[in-house]
Amino acid sequence: MQNEKMFRRGSLTAAAAIAPFVLFACSGAWSKASVQAGAKPVVTPLKSSGIYDVSEKVGWTISGSGIYNYVAKKNNHTQLSSGVVNLSKSSAGDTAKIEFEVKEPCMVYLEVTETGGKPMAFGAAVAPTKLRPVVPAPADFDEFWRGKIAELRKVPENPVVTPGESGKPDLSYSLVQMDHLNGTKVYGQLAKPSKTGKYPALLVLQWASPPYPLDKSWATNPAAGGWLVLNIQPHNVPVSGPPEVFSGVLPEIKNYGSIGQRDRDRNYFVEMYLRGYRAVDFLARHPEWDRQTIVVTGGSMGGQQSFAVAGLHPRVTHMMANEPAGCDLNGPNHGRQNSYPFYPTGDAQAMATAGYIDAVNFAPRIRATCLVSMGFIDTATAPAGIWTAFNQIKGPKVAAPMIDAAHNNIATWEQQQPYYSRQSEWMKALAAGDKVDLK
């Protein structure tokens, strides 16, 4: 499956980040540290935020001692500007400027390459809160999803909860299994404080890749902060087991993104999203849920699922999505970079099906309070699409722009601090029964 491997490590970091609480790092301090750690040149945005109005020139200053080629693209798709900066004979401290005007809302992707070197990427946003969907949602979007939820309701959950070892004396841990559509299962792991009480609920959703086992810490770490946590598989596979359990799955499941691309009723992501819906039902009936807070969270494809589940399930009160996938799947046909799951943009039927699973179309249905991040140099989940989805959310929301972040398997912890620091603040506030800070 195209680009699957790139999602695994970074989103693991995102899941593990739920429990620890970290200090805020200003996104404006990114440029020199990130570039000097690798190689010359030093490239600094004209605005530390990386966010410009359409009336402003977008640009960077560049300093070094070489010859640098650059190319800038609108939405990492259409070329805006290119050229050469020659600092090979400059004095120490000399700088040049790369700047240009952009007269419409978009993301800007800049590559700077020293002669004989590797490209370095930099990003900017132009009026990103004004980005809008490139195509409307299907006219029967709500009808379709009401029908799918009705189908799900006809399948009894038959939950089986099997106690296990948490590895921590103050936490309880169990494996969860429920029946699901098409003869499949929902498999998950449940963790909470051992002390009987009432706790806010957290559903942790997973990133893309062929089936893999779930790490116990992805449930127990946030549970240690006072949460009732359910972490589920996106696929019809157990939480854990010997390697052959995961290596032996059907070949088509290893390439699940291609399943049902031209058939909305067979589409793999429909069944996946409904797993999350069923998981929220399970949490909402748990006797130790506090009857107030249900959070859905995930990175990459986990963020994609979070948008869908928050848009479909009225019980969800908060959503936290780190660089969500599945946004703006028709984008490449309208001058925007493609995003995971990389549907074939030349196939009109696949593009029509994409409308039923696109996070952009779930966003207007979300009433939860939302935190959403976008990496300005993310080439796996395009920031223009994420901004577009974010802009459609009608409930309370906070954006966490990450100016120097690629996708979350590549970006460092520090580059993702605008998201992780806010996520930690929200988790602490909600665990204490307080409101989150929307400023």
Give me the tens of pLDDT residue by residue for the chain, a chain 439 residues long.
333 333 333 343 333 333 322 222 223 322 333 333 334 689 999 999 999 999 899 999 999 888 999 999 999 999 999 999 999 876 656 889 999 999 999 999 999 999 888 999 999 999 999 999 999 999 999 999 999 999 999 999 999 999 999 999 999 999 999 999 999 999 999 999 999 999 999 999 999 998 999 999 999 999 999 999 999 999 999 999 988 888 777 777 888 999 999 999 999 999 999 999 999 999 999 999 999 999 999 999 999 999 999 999 999 999 999 999 999 999 999 999 999 999 999 999 999 999 999 999 999 999 999 999 999 999 999 999 999 999 999 999 999 999 999 999 999 999 999 999 999 999 999 999 999 999 9
CA dist., res. 433 & res. 439, Å (int):
18
- β-partners of residue 99 are 59
Quick check: helix, strand or coil at residue 29?
helix
147 and 116 within one domain: no
206 and 336 within one domain: yes
367 and 388 within one domain: yes
Angle made by CA atoms 63, 64, 67, in degrees to the nearest 5 = 110
Spatial CA neighbour of 206 closest among 408, 46, 435: 408
Alpha helices in 205-342 (DSSP H): 217-223, 243-247, 251-254, 268-285, 301-312
Q: Domain span at residue 66?
A: 28-127
Residues with Cβ within 8 Å of 365's Cβ and at least 6 positions away in sequence, in order, are 142, 311, 312
299, 15 Cβ separation under 8 angstroms? yes
Residue 216 lies in a domain: yes
Residue 437 lies in a domain: no
224 and 103 within one domain: no
CA dist., res. 419 & res. 417, Å (int):
5
322 and 177 within one domain: yes
pTM summary value: 0.91
326 and 218 within one domain: yes
Residue 205 lies in a domain: yes
240 and 332 within one domain: yes
222 and 180 within one domain: yes
259 and 114 within one domain: no
CA dist., res. 123 & res. 106, Å (int):
11
Residue 438 lies in a domain: no
377, 410 Cβ separation under 8 angstroms? no
32 and 20 within one domain: no
80 and 13 within one domain: no
User: Among residues 78, 109, 127, which one ends one of the domains?
Assistant: 127
Number of domains within the chain: 2
49 and 63 within one domain: yes
Extended beta strands in 141-227, E state: 160-164, 171-179, 185-193, 199-204
Q: What is the CATH number of the domain that holds 79?
A: 2.60.40.2550
User: Among residues 110, 127, 144, which one ends one of the domains?
Assistant: 127
